[in-house]
Structure 1
Amino acid sequence: MNGKVLLVEDDASIATVIRSALEDEGFVVDRCDSIVARDRLLASGKYDVMLTDVMLADGDGLATIGSVRAACPAMPLIVLSAQNTFDTAVRASDTGAFEYFPKPFDLDDLVRAVSQAVGAGSRPGEEAQSGDGLPLVGRSQAMQAVYRMITRVLRNDLTVLILGESGTGKELVAEAIHELGHRKSGPFVAVNAAAIPPDLIESELFGHEKGAFTGAIAQAIGKFEQANGGTLFLDEIGDMPIEAQTRLLRALQSGRIRRVGGRQEIGVDVRIVAATNRDLKPMISAGKFREDLFYRLNVVPIQLPPLRERAEDIEALVKHFLGHAAREGLPERRIDRAAIALLEQQPWRGNVRELRNAVYRLALMARDDVIDAETIAMVLGQDSALAERHDDLDGLRGALEGWLAGVAPAPGTVYHRALAAFERPLFEHALAQTGGNQLRAAKLLGINRNTLRKKLSDLDIQADSFLRLG
């Protein structure tokens, strides 16, 4: 026997799958579907690990976790949740959870986590309270991975390197790590290496003594000292001059700094979070970034996805920004699904920042309370990609209207006739574009591969006929 597991899950089908997988690995599993039954089982038996859903039939499983901790303080907890928001991930972390799995999850990963939890025991630590309004929004799998990485570094001081394109929200992640972590009572100090002249960056970071250089008319305290006891966020670290990188590395290794022009070393206690939109490895090869500094910073990397790779989060982001715009005095607006679909098709090279600015512009300039596709074309029409997409929709609308006028469909058959007419060429075009590769075709269409296979079967389309040879 590998260990005894208590599974608290009110979805019978999910519980059956998890139970079967764990029992195949030699675990003994007891399952219940409510808080009341959970507490009864914990009172009558000893478990090596507990897996619990958040929303149960009789209440919020996490809200009542205090009684579990009181009864079984050393028992590791693994949280499962379909409420896959950043707030849920933080709440799971607040309980001292060993691991958090948003649904749907990889069953092999879950079994592996149970094995590790049984072997490692619990992860005790201080509670981290969730901040209000942190704008980390999205339920995509890519953002779930980000949330999980954030919660793993809240109770330690490991150095974090946040990677991602401009506008993806790197500073928001750094602020979340600070505000939700055990250093939240200390200062959060941000410095942008790209915005400081090369000859002033050492003074900015470490401070300077009076007379250290021309213009140094008084002593100045640097960012390291300002952040003492808290978090120092080094943004755009890839733009830091190589000479300053050497002094930064020394400060990180020793925990001591020396002001420019000073003789005395000063001890500092800071947590370092760095960020960059650059690929640092080619810069290391080119001699523009120190390899030893990279490894010192890259203890826990967090990769932020570009917005184009998580289009399913755009609706939530748009509604979030519309709410913020209204609270800042702009007119209250809603947005319809057609407009969201239009926004989901855009490349968003400026990522979340570009989307936010576009939403604020829409909130300001929309003629009606509801933002529709026409509003987007009118307000954001200078964006050629948006204009082209709107033209595509207009063309599709015109073709559909012409087709319907020609066939004079019977009442109640319009949707199915239109769907049948447009689905076949759509799927055939996707297969032609991808050389018959179903995985790539599904990705191109933005659907699940199993959905694609079913559609091909329903439409009797042979994917093999589109294969490219040679």
Structure 2
Amino acid sequence: MSEVTILVADDDRGIRTVLDQALQRAGYAVRTTGQTRTLWSWIEGGEGDLVITDVVMPDENGLDLIPRVKELRPDLPVVVTSARNTLLTAVRATERGAFEYLPKPFDLQEVVEVVERGLAPAARGGAEEPAAGAPDEDEQMPLIGRSPAMQDVYRVLARLVGTELTVMINGESGTGKELVARALHDYGKRREGPFVAVNMAAIPRELIESELFGHEKGAFTGATHRQAGRFEQASGGTLFLDEIGDMPMEAQTRLLRVLQEGEYTTVGGRTPLKADSRIVAATHQDLGELVRAGRFREDLYYRLNVVPLRLPALRERIEDIPDLVRHFLNRCEREGLPRKSMAPEALESLRAHSWPGNVRELENLVRRLCALCSDDVIGASTIQSELADVESDRGDGASRQPAGAQSLADAVDAHLRAYFDAHGDGLPAAGVYDRVIREVERPLISLALETMGGNQLRTAKLLGLNRNTLRKKIRELDIEPGDATR
């Protein structure tokens, strides 16, 4: 059998070298170039069994080469690599007929595995024709982030936009589930149709069927005229069913019939109507657990969960925070709010936050700072103060602890019980209250000072103390400056 040859085009000599070495170790012959025109001459000459090309090349965009390759040699797999790791890059690569999209920096073993899949006979039947009318490059990005977690999302989305498959998006509140649903619509075959979103948790249970399927005049008390439902409104487009786990059982039964038979009837109606919309569902709940608890139909679960897509929480992609902040600052400026920028140390403070509200919480914070902060450059102390206020507004921290964690009250109770048990009859005659309070106050004030970077004014505000009272306690508790940084 003749030797399999991989053609590699990248303007970075270092990347060409590591790909050359990795692919040769895997048993392939390799030809590398830093010019698209050289790559094209090899392809025209019938060379190569698979192509790996960068997007940004000095003489031609690698994505623009793909349609010509598909026309001349439709069975030649093209793998696209790019440091411009956005959803648009992934979608464009897929639309033009690329076999795979690999964001940089990539794992060399993953490259070898992609090459092996690309050379498999089943993978060489050509790609689906790209959809017409894709959004322009300079359009606002629907999703922001270059982290590995988001790259996985982009690659799945790029494969799904050209299909009609039902998608189930799972993720915590605030992770951007509706943005993903809109991306599936905006870059898909139904982009010219309507995008209709409905939140199951926001609709009274007795009105959900009417909301989804519509109703006829006189169908129930108050139905004074015919009302089109969301399925009818979404005809020819996409219907996004958010918080699907909150759908009552009776509505689940009707939705299952729509998915099975492709038609439905309005409340009080008799004539079946054709359902012509792509279904995208989303939830922050564990639907599998709801099925086991008898609160969600198992057959509907499998109908909706054709393609599951999990969105990462913001704490799982902290490296995306600078890009997200820049995006939100620019959006605020376009909306007429004062122009702001973020100091590097402020970004570090944002990275250290746990973000229980995810991207939505970050966006709200940035908007608030753009509107209320008087400084043109937002510093770390401002961020720390704002985050401290947010934590205070959330109330008792015990409600936010992970499952199985002790509340503060339980921890203190256990500590005091151990203290009293250990001392027994040897407890001091007086002063236990002051001793316990001192033991709690010292670490509390030290930690607050550390959180506020040693700034006593902001620490006093965080603790709800007068500044002079705080200074007095620092002296009484013998808190050294170094204690605030431990």
- Does the pair score TM above 0.5? yes
- Please, which of 242, 248, 251 is the counterpart of residue 255 of structure 2? 248
Q: What is the aligned partner in structure 2 of residue 61 from structure 1?
A: 62
Aligned to 2:6: 5
Q: Which SS does the other structure have where 2:162 is aligned?
A: coil
Q: Distance in 2 between matches of 1:229 and 1:3?
A: 46
Name the SS of the counterpart of 2:101 in structure 1: strand
| Residue of structure 2 aligned with 1:302, choices 309, 323, 335 | 309
* Residues 302/388 of structure 1: CA separation in 2 closer, same or farther (3 Å cut): farther
Name the stretch that deviates more: 357-366 or 210-219: 210-219
Report the counterpart of residue 392 of structure 1 in structure 2: 450
- The separation in 1 between residues aligned to 2:446 and 2:146, in whole angstroms, is 28
For residues 21-420 of structure 1, what are the structure 2 equivalents within 5 Å? 21-118=22-119, 119=121, 120-121=123-124, 122-127=126-131, 129-130=134-135, 132-384=139-391, 391-392=449-450, 395=453
The amino acid of 1:392's aligned partner reads: E
Kindly provide the CA deviation profile for residues 70-118 of structure 1, in whole angstroms up to 9, marking residues without a partner as x: 4333422211112212232222223221111111223333222222222
Paired with 1:390 and 1:377, the residues of 2 have a C-alpha distance of: 11
Stretches of structure 1 lacking an aligned partner (at least 5 in a row): 399-425, 430-470
Say which SS state the counterpart of residue 81 (structure 2) adopts: strand
Q: Cα deviation per residue 1:157-206 (whole Å; 9 max; x = unaligned)? A: 11111110000000000000100111101111111111111111111111
SS in 1 for 2:205: coil
Greater mean deviation of Cα atoms: 93-102 or 1-10 = 1-10
Deviation at 1:383, TM superposition (A): 2.6
Structure 1 residue identity aligned to 2:95: D
Q: CA distance change for structure 1 residues 379 and 67 in 2, over 3 Å: closer, same or farther?
A: same
Confirm or deny: 8 A CA contact 2:384 2:452 kept in the other structure.
no
1:238-270 deviation line (CA, Å, top 9, x unaligned): 111112111111111111111111112122221
Q: Distance in 2 between the 1:278 and 1:134 partners?
A: 27
- Give distance in 2, aligned partners of 1:389 and 1:323: 34
Q: Which amino acid aligns with 2:40?
A: D
Cα 1:29–1:397 change in 2 (3 A) is farther
Distance 1:264 1:46 in 2: 60
Taking the aligned partners of 2:358 and 2:147, their CA distance within structure 1 comes to 15
How far has the Cα of 1:30 moved from its partner? 2.4
Cα distance change on mapping 1:393 and 1:210 into 2, 3 Å: closer
> Structure 2 length normalisation: TM-score?
0.77
Residue 144 to residue 396, structure 1, CA distance change in 2 (3 Å):
farther
How far is the alpha carbon of 1:315 from its aligned partner?
0.9
How far apart are the structure 1 equivalents of 2:38 and 2:213? 58
Say which one has the larger Rg: 2
User: Is the Cα–Cα contact under 8 Å of residues 346 and 385 in structure 1 kept in the other structure?
Assistant: no
Greater displacement, 137-146 / 386-395: 386-395
- Unaligned runs of 5+ residues in structure 2 are 394-444, 457-484
The separation in 2 between residues aligned to 1:390 and 1:358, in whole angstroms, is 21
Displacement of 1:331: 0.3
Q: Does the aligned pair in 1 maintain the 2:67–2:97 contact within 8 Å?
A: no
Contact 1:228–1:270 (CA under 8 A) maintained in structure 2: yes
Q: SS in structure 1 opposite 2:382?
A: helix
TM-score, length-normalised on structure 1?
Answer: 0.80
User: What percentage of residue pairs aligned between the two structures are identical?
Assistant: 51
User: Counterparts of 1:383-462 in structure 2 under 5 Å?
Assistant: 383-384=390-391, 391-392=449-450, 395=453
SS at 1:52 equivalent: strand
Label 1:385 to 1:28 Cα distance change in 2 as closer, same or farther (>3 A).
farther
Residues 1:319 and 1:247: Cα distance change in structure 2 (over 3 Å): same
SS of 1:245's partner is helix
